[in-house]
Structure 1
C-alpha cells in the first residue's frame, strides 16, 4: 500500500512538473535581470505586451491576457518571455526579488497599467470624430466606413514619436496600393507649428492638428506615441505603443 501511495505521489509530481515545463524555460535569468534597474530596463525594451501572447502566472498556469496585465499593474511581478519560435510569444510572471531596486516595481506597475488600459479599449468603437486635416479634408467616422484606419497619436516635442517617422513612413509606402487602408495622425500642435515642423521632417500620414483635448478626453491617452488600428466597422482592434508592434498587428489585420 505504501509503495502504491509513493507511486501516485511521484506520478503527481511528474505531471505537475511536465505541465509547468511544457512551455519552455525563460530566455533570460529572471533573478539576474533584477540585479540593477539598468539590467531590467535593457531587457524590458524587448517586452511587447500589446502583441498576442500566451500568458502564464507565477506557477506556470495559463491565464487570460487581461488577468496577466492586471497582475502586472497591481502586483509584485515582472514579465519574462519563455524560449519559443520567433513569432510565438509566451510570457510568464516572476516574483520581484525583495532586494530589487524599487524603481523596477514602480516602472512595471505603470507599464502594466498602460497595457491593461489599452487592452480594454480593444473591441470597442472608436469615439465619434469629425476632423479636418492640414489640407482641409474632412474626415469622419462615416467617411471612413469600409476602411482599415491606422492612427498615430503624437506631438512635436515627443522624441520617441519623431524617432519612428522613418519607420512609419516606410510602412505607409508598403501599403500604398491598398486603397482600403488609411493612415491618419492626431497631433497636439497647431496647424502653423505642424506645417513648419513637417517641412523639415515629413510624415506620410494625413495630419490632424489641435487634437490635444480629443486625445486627453475622448481617448484618455497618457503615453505617446500611441497607435490605433480600426477595422472596417470602426472598431478598435489594437492599441499599440510602438512601431514594432504596429507593423506586426497591421500585417495581421490587413489579411483578415
Structure 2
C-alpha cells in the first residue's frame, strides 16, 4: 500500500516544487546560467535548426513525448503562449519529443499544433545530452545561456503558467 501512495503522489510532488528549480527526485538539465548544450537537428517538417543559428535568440524548449499525461495537460496553455508570440522572430519554440516522427505527426494532426517546431529524439539522447529523465521539462534560454528551467506541466494550477509567461516577458526585455 505504501508503494501505491508513493507512486500516485509523484505527479503532485513534482507540480508543487518551486519555479525555476530542478524538480523530481534528481537534477534535471544543465545548471542555470550555464551554456546550453550545442545541437543541430532537423524538425519533423524537414527544417534544419541548430544552437549556433539560435544563439542570438530566446529559445523555449519543451521536452515531451506522445502519451505523457502532464504533456497533454499543458497543451492548451502552451498553445496560448505560442500564439501570443507568433510572428516574433526573437523567440523560437522547440519541442524535443521522445517519440518517432510519424507518431508525432499523427498526434499533432489529431490534437492540433501547439506552436513548437518538433524534433524527434531518443530518450537516451535526451538523457545523455540534456540530462533530462522526466517529462515535461522546460528550458528557457537566451543568447545560448540557460536562464531557467522547470520540470512538470505548465498550467494555471500552482501558478506555473504565470511564472512561465513572466519569464518569457522578462527575457524579451
Instruction: Give the TM interval when normalised to the shorter protein.
Output: 0.7 to 0.9
Aligned equivalents of 1:211, 1:124: Cα separation in 2:
23
Residue 205 in structure 1 maps to residue 116 in structure 2:
yes
Aligned equivalents of 1:156, 1:43: Cα separation in 2:
21
Equivalent position to 1:191, from 73, 96, 101: 101
Name the counterpart of 1:216: 127
Q: State the TM-score, normalizing by the size of structure 1.
A: 0.55
Aligned equivalents of 1:43, 1:212: Cα separation in 2:
23
What 5-or-longer segments of structure 2 have no aligned partner?
A: 155-159
1:47 is displaced (CA, Å) by: 3.5
Describe the superposition over 1:15-65 as per-residue Cα deviations: whole angstroms up to 9, x where unpaired: xxxxxxxxxxxxxxxxxxxxx99xx9998677441248xxxxxxxxxxxxx
Q: State the TM-score, normalizing by the size of structure 2.
A: 0.79
Aligned equivalents of 2:71, 2:20: Cα separation in 1:
19
* Equivalent residues of 1:229, 1:237 under 8 A apart: yes
1:152 is displaced (CA, Å) by: 0.3
Residue 170 in structure 1 maps to residue 139 in structure 2:
no
Residue 252 in structure 1 maps to residue 161 in structure 2:
no
Aligned equivalents of 2:12, 2:63: Cα separation in 1:
26
User: CA-atom RMSD, angstroms?
Assistant: 2.7
What 5-or-longer segments of structure 1 have no aligned partner?
A: 1-35, 53-68, 70-109
Describe the superposition over 1:161-189 as per-residue Cα deviations: whole angstroms up to 9, x where unpaired: 11111110100011124210000100011
* Equivalent residues of 2:38, 2:52 under 8 A apart: no
Aligned equivalents of 2:105, 2:12: Cα separation in 1:
38
Q: Secondary structure at the match of 1:143?
A: coil
* Equivalent residues of 1:123, 1:235 under 8 A apart: yes
Aligned equivalents of 1:124, 1:168: Cα separation in 2:
25
Ranked by relative contact order (alpha carbons within 8 Å, sequence separation 6 or more), the top structure is 2
Aligned equivalents of 1:136, 1:188: Cα separation in 2:
17
Residue 229 in structure 1 maps to residue 136 in structure 2:
no
Map residues 134-153 of structure 1 onto 2, 5 A cutoff: 134-153=44-63
Name the counterpart of 1:49: 18
Q: Secondary structure at the match of 2:62?
A: strand
Aligned equivalents of 1:139, 1:120: Cα separation in 2:
20
Aligned equivalents of 1:183, 1:226: Cα separation in 2:
13
